[in-house]
Amino acid sequence: MTLENRVKAVQQVAVIGAGAWGSALAFHLSGKGLEVPLWVFEPEVTEQIRTQRENPAYLPGVRFPKNIHPSQDMREVVHDKRIVILVVPSHHMRAILGRLAPHLSPGVTLVSAAKGIENETLLTMSQVIEEVMPEDLSVHRAVLSGPSFSREVGQGLPTAVTVACQDREVSQVLQHVLASGRLRIYTSTDVIGVELGGALKNVIAIATGIADGLNLGLNARAALVTRGLAEISRLGVRMGANPLTFMGLAGLGDLVLTCTGDLSRNRTVGLKLGQGLKLAEILKDMTMVAEGVKTTRSAHDLARREGVDMPITNQVYHVLYEDKEPWQALLDLMSRDLKPEIGGYVDG
């Protein structure tokens, strides 16, 4: 079967999760003329999308067309769908997959668009999919990641991201199903690299937010982004990723966006920490999830398990979970033993 015919055969796409990113992806797919069933957790959000054609809590100002179909009935949403895009917080992924499994069609492609690492198991989302899904479903696992603020995708602004799958043909089909003149899709077979880049950049974004909250200047921000990329790459390579992945959209691209963009929830958490607020009061006032808070714990534990030096991640962990003063974390970073830069990509 030609690529064109394979693409035509899998046009039935469902989106699970109506937060900002799930809503933006549903809106994007609807613009391609697809009928898009959208699973929504909250009854009030379901009703708002159905009657007002808007999701004011998560994606305000974006008018949803009639070919987006919100529902709380998971079976109805995924029945006979060939592609299911999972856009739920990473700490809910396992439970959602367990509920989904009985309703999925054999051979379905599950695309994780969540950017996190499970705290208890230290598994990435594609690894959680592999662990939860029954073997007889023959599920294809893929991940979608890259520099993509939901609001800008909802506004139709140009965006480029990466879809990764170990099966090259599956990633090519997904590329053609998802791409448009406003959302450019690149393919990769480096699933672990794309996932780690998307998850770990949120930790570094908290660090750069802290530095900005302390008014440390642009030099400090640039240093944190650069050295953050070094430690993300170290862990990624240790876990089997292609180092070049971290120079691409799912690595450097997403890192720069999340560390510098005002729309970044993780940078916002860091910013408020640097300004003296405590984590509990910051999270209390946030509607949307800042994945980096939970991922910091996973990254810290992964680094210890793999024997990889991740000094920025460790200091963010101390600030978030041990109530360390942000200024002291910075002082400890700056006073570490001096060493060569390039060697630092290998040994810290």
Known catalytic residues are 201
Q: CA-to-CA distance for 15 and 115, rounded, in angstroms?
A: 16
The one-character DSSP state at 62 is: P
Q: Is 93 helix (H, G, I), strand (E, B) or coil?
A: helix
Quick one: tokens of 181? 């003149």
Contacts of 251 (CB under 8 A, 6+ apart): 193, 197, 201, 229, 232, 233, 245
Residue 199: half-sphere exposure toward Cβ, Cα within 13 Å = 32
Instruction: Please give the C-alpha separations between residue 337 and each of 42, 150, 233, in angstroms, as whole numbers.
Output: 50, 40, 20
